Structure 1
Amino acid sequence: MPTEWAPFLTRMDWEVARWAKLRGPSSTALSELLGIDRLANKLGLLFSNTDELNRIIDGKLPNGLPKFVQEELTLAGQTYEFYHCDIIQCVRALYGDPELAEFLTHAPEKLFTGPDKKTRIYSEMNTGKWWWTHQIELEDEFGGVTVIPLLISSDKTRVVMFGTKSAYPVYLTIGNIPKELRRKPSRRTHILLGYLPTTPLHHISSTTSHYPEQVLASGCKTGDCPRCPARRPELGELKDDYEYRDLAQILEALSTFEDNPAGYGAACSKAGIKPIVHPFWQNLPYSDIYLGITPDILHQLYQGVMKHLLSWGITSLSRVTGNEHADMCRILLGLVVDLKLPNATSPLPLIAAIRSLLDFLYLAQYPLHTSETLRLLHESLERFHANKHVFVDLGIRNDFNLPKLHSLVHYVDSIKLFGTTDNYNTEYTERLHIDLAKDAYRATNHRDEYAQMTVWLERKEKILQHESYLKWRLNPRSTILLRSTDMAYNGALTLTKWPSAWAVKLGNVVDQYGAKFFQEALRRYIVLARHSGPPLTRTQVERQILYTNLPFTTVSVYYKLKFTTPGDTTVAKRITLDSIHARPERRTKKGKVIPARFDTVLLNVGPGEETGIQGYRVGQVRVIFTLPAGVDGVSTKPLAYIKWFTKFTTPDAHHRMFKLNRSLEAGERVASIVPVSMIRRSAHLFPKFGPVVPEEWSSNNVLEKCSTFYLNPFTDKHMYFIL
């Protein structure tokens, strides 16, 4: 009899099947487990081994995605097999997914802001000029059409921890799906289109198999720009305007192959491409492969331009990941601010060049751009080119004819055409490698792996789709909440359920946490918290403090404060966006000393906005605590003892960071107690190292030893957005 768990009979059937395909062990291990003393019968399962479970999944669970097809490719006398899905069926599956239906975009938009509503906004793909232009063109030709932009990405990835075994997956998604969903693998908004062969073509003398993907796809010559006609000797200069490659001329050259094979090479050379035969994009009427070469934050910036910059005298590390490059970029400016250059070379051009590239890096990742922010993006590139001579002066470079550096000139136009870079950043599809390549390979016996990988993926997808169906059936009102955390935390400030230290004596707070004026600050806080009339003068506050007794002798202390995502109905676990520590020195059970950690934070002392430093101030958190219940007129909400740094003034003219000193009064650190809710986020301070770093400085004591700091604007995209 059919049940709500069909084609499974019971919830136990479904839960075991789901665990086996999404979290469980190998197929052989599952069969051995279920074969233990008739375990399957004792659990009342519909299946008793992996084969029986697979027959249920293969025969009775529907699959909303097209099946993989195996084909053979013969090239230069050798045959290679590859697996792929029908691309039209894949598009239909994405566009027809009921979980995505309410979020799909079906038409282009022009968005404007500003007092006169003339400043254009670029964000989602449908806010760009490309969609708008093609919508009008197709409406005139066919009428009543919907544009479905196809975003295809590919990248070779290793599928083993050791060795060279690789896969070359190709992914597909559509621009109608909001980018906030497309960037999350858990939403399954990308489809594995296929696996390209990775067998080296040793019998072919050409080295084309080793060209970067963009060069291969576009057919341009190595060293030239794959998007515009710029040749290698021109790549290092910044021009006022760049033309796109002439697609009509290139298509005309490609069309001469059958009629004039002898002159085909010359025709292609004149058009600026290699003599390729029938490229895949030749007969696509609404596709321009050269416009489709879009910005790539991961490979062009982090693993391209910034990698070059780091190698120009800072590090020669190899095999550095994108995340590691990002970590280096966060601290790069602070390392060179006081750097002494050889031969009395002025450091100002170096500082300006590095700052301008970092500005470009962070501005390029904005999830929303306007005409104004695009102007800032272009100006940062101009500043780099105006100061890049310093690398020649230092003997580091002779020229800057680097394709990835040149690619930056096309970012502004691409954003205007296709929306912001997070619409097509390959950093997001890199995460798909784990599920769709690495895990799939590990599930095979490593022989004829692609046949096994595609079957494994089809079964996994069926289980995931059935899981979505059951969630809808059991809770039809559940929905997906769309939230962006790119530029604002939009998160919840949370402490642990229980204090890290109960009933800490006030005297111990002073001694162990370095909170010298804790009790005085606490009296001041209580006086101000109880007062409800007109603002008190400083003299009045000081007088009342003298007559304020503390009706308690201990407080409860927390060692960590977190900012987490609010969470929604589809995410069980909140994600930690930021954390702040205030922990005294301690010893492990083995006697090892763990140094104290008291983080610096950005506080909204009022009224701070989403952008701009006005209304903010930096402080060091020494204690996070709550008061005992029952203190008259005072809330029991969490509080923090803050040691303040000086207020913001004008940023430095060259590196444009804010300089801060410890705030002092009569030679003592200025401190106060504030509600934890005033803490906006963590703040990273660069010590002002000077020409030589003092030997006694360490990461554990530099906040106390150093007197001058710079506020790091490159901690993350959110901090950059504020500053």
Structure 2
Amino acid sequence: MTCARHLCRGEQFEGAAIIYRIGDTFLRCFDMDRHALHRQTNMYYPFANLGDWEMANFLLQSNLSMREIDSYLSLSMTKKMLLSFWTAKELRGHIEDLPKGPRWKIHIVPTHHPTTSPVELYWCDPLECIEALFNHPFYAGKMDYSPFCMFTAAGRIMRVYSEWMSSDGAWELQTQVPAGSMLCGVILSSDKTNITNVCGGKVVHPLLISLANIRMNVRNKASSHAFLLTTLMPIVEFIHPIPRIRSVLEVHLFHACLDFILEPLKKAAQLGQMMADPLRNICFCFTPLETLRQLGSICCDPDDIEAYFDACARFRLSGISHPFWRNWPLSDPHRFLTPECLHHWHRMSWDHDVKWCRCALGSGELDFCFSLLPPITGLRQFKSGITKLKQVGGCTQHDVQRYLVVDRSDGEVGYAADDADEAGEAVLNDLWAPKQSPSDFFDITAKHVASTALSSSPLCTFTHGSTAFHLNLHPSLCCLSVDSAAEKFAIPDLHSALGDFLALHSCHGRRIQPFGRTRQLAQDTPLPFTYLQIWYKVHIQQRDYHDRTSTALTYTIHAEPPNGHWKYGHYNAAILQVDEGHDWPDSRLMGHAVVEVHLIMRPHPPQGMNVAWANCFLVYVRWLDIINMELAMHLPMLKRAVRTSGSYFGNIFPLDQISSFAHVVPWFGKTADKRLTYMNACHASQSFYLNRYFDKDFFYATNR
């Protein structure tokens, strides 16, 4: 009997994950325990009712100690409640009466060198933890069961690596296990943490375990509880006069403890283990070690540790003689000792790339250049620079990498690539995405279109191709004359641009409008309307480049006129489609132009007039011409396009011809003018860089 799970992927490993028989899940075992009869009449048993269970759940998840819970339950007001427990001990008794998951054990670890206290190792069987994750009903439909290859298109031109099962390593490992069996990849993660703050400051290394088969967007969310605590690794003090020897002994103990607790997983990797998935299907599973994060990397000979350590130091060896993974079948250090995002990418960039920039530019110039960067809504702006930041975490380091200023020998200033973004790993989005899920404008549009109660007015949330748009329901300016708008937004040719757009629209109908056309109508040409509705911003959302079923981050394009804060206005750049034969992002920049958006509007037709252009949102944009490619940093260099008359090259287009938000940065020259600020730098500049590195999806879309 073969597995019936279907995955819409390019190629799937044949003959993997065969279902041998039907087993039980945790919930089924829960319904078959000795209290199952009581739960037929009271689903909250051993608690009296829903309120009783809610009180117990609140107390257990709070930070109250057992004594504090007793004090709360002894209050006269609390005693008026109909509870089934009146002491913390009785509450714990109810919990102990429920079906159990992996049980905690204690093991005294023997050591060859004296310590200040006995080495107590608290642990759960890691194989039981893996079985609990593999069997959990929450992960039904959220796991991969056999290796697969994924491609961006049916032509299989570009291979996509997203989940562990999509890797070449998983495919190769599947060939090394018996036919019909399944891989259950093990993820181990550990870091030092405090478990008491007042009573002695006790610290341990909690060892977390997870299942690599669980899809990454689920596994990396804390609310999914996909990482289980399997061990509290002890941190003890060895009695030895030399500090470096004590450090070696501590790491040796770390490996010895891991060697002991991970033995069940090693046996399962060698012999296999029958385990039931969330749908009760039993498969023959093998457990290779796939990821290891922040674990120790040295051990020693307990017989003569000083001589051994000195010998290792002379040859610059780490001192590992018996690493815990030495007898773990199917596990290869070059695969599971993978780079870790925070330290290997973000921290490395902060510790090395930023220091290099400081040496090249100087701290003052580097901070000043960062302070001039035009802001991106939703991302951090560094108004005071970056060299004096305190408590710089992963999120801040990530944002710095989006537009890291560098200096070159010829004196030009550009932006360094973010290695983490170039890697394109979806884990970055999971780790540093906003806490609240962003709105899905594609889904909102689909619901609006499906609604039968649509008005005659255009939808403020709509899609075109791979891009979704969202405008506020009410415009920023409800009724502004064309001449007033031209004066307010400093667009002297707005009247003639609108006339040209309407003339072209009436002749050719609704289609992709080209760029570069000359003015056909005079400035005083009559228009069929007098007033405009104007919006100061539009939100742009796209599909994820490698997963067109997922949405990427939302960006905001501002088109605000001069005001008290923005003396010259606040305008963002965008990618505009100018050739209907090229679609974003597959065609990259081919058939597209980089533009600066200066006005977002909708003509306000006279009452009773029903014309096609009245239901069309329009934008007035100015062209930023790509003049060359900066070879060292692979950044397109832009220049403001001008007409033969010397005026800026601007035209009007339908809003939905915009394909993407674009981050353009002024070219400052060898040193930035000290009169510049982030509010006037774009206005004062004629040349720009198109920053391809501010967003992972934008990088892939513009990668030649």
Q: TM-score range by the shorter chain?
A: 0.5 to 0.7
Alignment of structure 1 residues 287-686 onto 2, 5 Å: 287-304=331-348, 307-314=351-358, 320-332=392-404, 334-336=405-407, 340=411, 358=417, 360-366=419-425, 422=427, 492-532=468-508, 542=520, 548-563=526-541, 577-586=554-563, 596-606=569-579, 607-611=582-586, 612-628=588-604, 632-634=610-612, 639-665=617-643, 666-686=645-665
Q: CA deviation at 1:199?
A: 5.7
Alignment of structure 1 residues 687-702 onto 2, 5 Å: 687-702=666-681
Partner of 2:275: none
CA 1:112–1:52: 2 relative to 1, 3 Å: same
Partner of 1:138: 177
Contact 2:209 2:227 in 1 (8 A): yes
Whether 1:179 aligns to 2:199 is: no
Alignment of structure 1 residues 261-272 onto 2, 5 Å: none
What letter is aligned with 1:678? Q
Distance 2:432 2:232 in 1: 15
CA 1:104–1:699: 2 relative to 1, 3 Å: same
What letter is aligned with 2:573? T
Secondary structure, aligned partner of 2:653: strand
CA 1:25–1:147: 2 relative to 1, 3 Å: closer
Distance 1:274 1:632 in 2: 79
Unpaired runs of at least 5, structure 1: 220-253, 341-346, 368-421, 435-488, 567-573
Secondary structure, aligned partner of 1:307: helix
What letter is aligned with 1:696? R
CA 1:694–1:37: 2 relative to 1, 3 Å: same
Deviations 1:545-593 (A, max 9, x none): 9765243424142445253889xxxxxxx99532223334556xxxx88
Q: CA deviation at 1:46?
A: 5.1
Unpaired runs of at least 5, structure 2: 1-39, 257-298, 364-386, 436-464, 545-550
What letter is aligned with 1:84? W
Partner of 2:129: 90
Partner of 1:150: 186
CA 1:517–1:136: 2 relative to 1, 3 Å: same
For normalisation by structure 1, the TM-score amounts to 0.61
Distance 1:215 1:54 in 2: 41
Deviations 1:244-269 (A, max 9, x none): xxxxxxxxxx99999x9999889989
Contact 1:514 1:622 in 2 (8 A): no
Contact 2:401 2:418 in 1 (8 A): no
Distance 1:500 1:168 in 2: 55
Contact 1:172 1:190 in 2 (8 A): yes
If asked which structure has higher relative contact order (CA below 8 Å, sep 6+), I would say: 1
What letter is aligned with 2:423? A
CA 1:279–1:585: 2 relative to 1, 3 Å: same
Contact 2:73 2:86 in 1 (8 A): yes
Distance 1:287 1:308 in 2: 32
> Which of the numbers 700, 707, 713 marks the counterpart of 2:692?
713
Distance 1:165 1:430 in 2: 30
**Mean Cα displacement is larger for which, 651-660 or 536-545?**
536-545
CA 1:543–1:707: 2 relative to 1, 3 Å: closer
Give RMSD over aligned pairs: 5.3
For normalisation by structure 2, the TM-score amounts to 0.62
What letter is aligned with 1:137? Q
What letter is aligned with 1:625? M
Secondary structure, aligned partner of 1:695: coil
Secondary structure, aligned partner of 1:189: coil
Distance 1:694 1:495 in 2: 36
Contact 1:524 1:545 in 2 (8 A): no
Q: CA deviation at 1:640?
A: 4.6
Deviations 1:578-619 (A, max 9, x none): 2223334556xxxx8898422222223332332421122222
Secondary structure, aligned partner of 1:681: strand
Q: CA deviation at 1:303?
A: 1.1
Partner of 1:451: none
Distance 1:319 1:102 in 2: 40
CA 1:217–1:707: 2 relative to 1, 3 Å: farther
CA 1:188–1:691: 2 relative to 1, 3 Å: same
CA 1:88–1:593: 2 relative to 1, 3 Å: same
Deviations 1:133-187 (A, max 9, x none): 3322221xxx542121212122336799999986643322222222333333333
What letter is aligned with 2:407? V
Contact 2:627 2:639 in 1 (8 A): no
Contact 1:218 1:289 in 2 (8 A): no
CA 1:302–1:137: 2 relative to 1, 3 Å: same
Q: CA deviation at 1:721?
A: 0.8
Structure with more of its chain in strand, by fraction: 2
**Mean Cα displacement is larger for which, 638-647 or 662-671?**
638-647
Q: CA deviation at 1:272?
A: 8.3
Secondary structure, aligned partner of 2:183: coil
Secondary structure, aligned partner of 1:193: strand
Secondary structure, aligned partner of 2:621: strand
Distance 1:26 1:706 in 2: 60
Contact 1:339 1:690 in 2 (8 A): no
Alignment of structure 1 residues 190-269 onto 2, 5 Å: 190-198=227-235, 203=240, 205-207=242-244
Contact 2:48 2:84 in 1 (8 A): no
Q: CA deviation at 1:189?
A: 2.4
Q: CA deviation at 1:658?
A: 1.0
Contact 2:147 2:171 in 1 (8 A): yes
Contact 2:599 2:621 in 1 (8 A): no
Whether 1:285 aligns to 2:357 is: no
Secondary structure, aligned partner of 1:284: coil
What letter is aligned with 2:189? S
Percent identity between matched residues is 21
CA 1:56–1:650: 2 relative to 1, 3 Å: farther
Secondary structure, aligned partner of 1:680: strand
